[in-house]
Structure 1
Amino acid sequence: NYLDYIESVAVFARDTRDTPMGELRVVTPEEIATYSQIAQKGTLSMYRDLAKKSTEQKIRDGIMVYTREFLFPHAMKAGLWDKWVAEGFDTLHPNTEAAWPTLASPKAAEILTPVLLFGGGFPPVSD
């Protein structure tokens, strides 16, 4: 276990989403302690909320993470995000809704993994 051999670490942060890599700053131990407490409370709250959701809603939420949240920073940088959202990016396509019983079944992982992780589920970007 390599963790037993770590002697020191550094944590870096951006002050804004667009902070260039050359302007990252070292996070102080006090900041780490503060953010750790906030993250622990937030994580507990998130898991309480997740436990209340149906399997179907958890799957829908997962699809949003893999499509929306992973693409967001890249689309913003390319100037496409607002256009995509205005064109219905957050709305599931009728074909997806029609396939929902399969997507919400135990076969979801074997179907969605190659589609979402290997790019087969995203339309080509032409502009």
Structure 2
Amino acid sequence: MGILMEGCTTIKQINTTITNNKITVNKTEFEGNKFIILNNDQLQTPIYLNKINEQNYAALLMLCTHKNCDVKPTGSFLTCPCHGSEFDNDGKVLKGPATANLTAYQTQIKETTIIIDINQAIKS
């Protein structure tokens, strides 16, 4: 686990394992956090996991759809430092030049865990 400082905001980062193309995250990781960043050596780009509510989470590939730059969380949205595209916490484009939403992954919510299927990208 790591902590990344972004301005005055502390961002929780977790090193995860992938088993059968799935990442499992304990819900307790969200204590005091609205979102967390998931890292794994098999992933070239981290996954942004946003807690919408107790039963809904958005898992987004942190890669801008405009020119493949890494996006950065800013609390209320994600921004691309390369060309200024902005995305909401569900990955939808708020401001271009990007025209396509971020890649989102299917999540399955269990009693104490969130399971992200990295082979199940959601088309939007």
Which TM-score band (shorter chain)? under 0.3
Larger helix proportion, structure 1 or 2?
A: 1
> Looking at both structures, which has the greater relative contact order when contacts are Cα pairs under 8 Å and sequence separation is at least 6?
2
Normalising to structure 2: TM-score of the pair? 0.24
Normalising to structure 1: TM-score of the pair? 0.24
Instruction: Report which of the two structures shows the higher radius of gyration computed on alpha carbons.
Output: 1
Larger strand proportion, structure 1 or 2?
A: 2
